[in-house]
Amino acid sequence: QVQLVEAGGGVVQPGGSLRLSCAASGFTFSYYGMHWVRQAPGKGLEWVAFIRYDESNKYYADSVRGRFTISRDNSKNTLYLQMNSLRVEDTAVYYCAKISGPGRDYYYMDVWGKGTTVTVSS
């Protein structure tokens, strides 16, 4: 079955960097666009970034543009989120999610991973 497993979270000081990964299995990863969505403690869901299946288009939330970079390695079935210049307000559980429908430029999330926790604190 479709499975997404995030990793790479941890505790980092403000201004620091982290690289999250999302290992995909159970579907043809290279056919599907992927999202990152985050959830601050006790808060709602906030979309972070999207990457098209072939990496030709990438979109970012205003709150992370210029600091975060989404990428993927289709040969490794893995999605990444490079997070630089981290701020306290980036503290959240970060989820990766696949879109419903292969070959689309942008679409909604249907399956989500369990998430990885990022804490930005001095």
Per CB under 8 A, residues contacting other proteins are 35, 44-47, 50, 59, 61-62, 95, 100, 106-115
| CB closer to other proteins out of 23 and 111 | 111
| CB closer to other proteins out of 46 and 55 | 46
Residue 30 phi/psi, 5-degree rounding, is -70, -5
The DSSP symbol for 28 reads -
Residue type for 31, please? Y
Query: For residue 79, what are the β-bridge partners?
Result: 22, 72
Q: Closest approach of Cβ 77 to other proteins, in Å?
A: 19
Alpha-carbon distance of 67 to 69, in angstroms, equals 7
| CB closer to other proteins out of 2 and 88 | 2
Give the position of tokens 């975060």: 68
Q: Closest approach of Cβ 57 to other proteins, in Å?
A: 10
